[in-house]
Amino acid sequence: MLPQRSATRVTDRLKIELGRRYRFSASHRLNNESLSEQENRRVYGKCNNPHGHGHNYVVEVRVSGTVDPATGMIASLVDLDSFVDREVIEPFDHKLLNEEVAAFRKVVPTTENLCKEIYQRLKRFPKAKLERVRVEETSNNTFEYAGEEL
């Protein structure tokens, strides 16, 4: 039996999200100070290399809101781009995340934690509601965070 159209669904309002992708390159080292050297090597493998290593990160930002009839936009891309640039790209691009981003002095900069940190920073965007953040560490590894409700 195929699903039938339900009256409630038809009355649901349409929702629009805007997605924008950004890039930055940074280095990190996965190491937890509360673990022994040997445990760190076992847990993090190659990512524990004391010299660190880097990635070209892709950050996909999704925001929602009302489409302003005067502009046809949820948020001006100039506003969104400059906010993301100031909050994420500038402080993270070409940096060693462990040393140069305060949030990662005590927290291991895995891409899970990076995703959450970026979400916390972008949640303050005043012009639209942040829906989720997706971070691609490599083309094979992707992480998403949509706040604690998920």
Partner 1 sequence: MIYLTRKMEFCASHLYHNPALSAEENKRIFGKCNNPHGHGHNYTLEVTVAGEPDPVTGMVLDLKELREILEREIAQRMDHRFLNYEVEELKGQIPTCENIARVIFNLLEPKIEKGRLYKVRLYETPELFAECYRNGARPA
Residues that bind partner 1 (CB under 8 A): 1-3, 5, 9, 12-22, 62, 67, 69-74, 76-78
Selected catalytic residue, list 28, 55, 136, 137? 137
Selected catalytic residue, list 47, 99, 100, 144? 47
Nearest CA-CA partner of 83 in 58, 118, 135, 116: 118
- Least distance to partner 1, CB of residue 16, Å: 5
- Least distance to partner 1, CB of residue 27, Å: 24
Structure tokens at 103: 């949030």
75 burial level (CB within 10 Å; 0-12, 13-18, 19+): buried
Known catalytic residue at 28: no
Selected catalytic residue, list 90, 94, 100, 112? 94
Going across the sheet that includes 53-64, the strands are 53-64, 129-136, 142-145
Known catalytic residue at 115: no
Q: Where in the sequence numbering do the catalytic residues fall?
A: 47, 94, 137
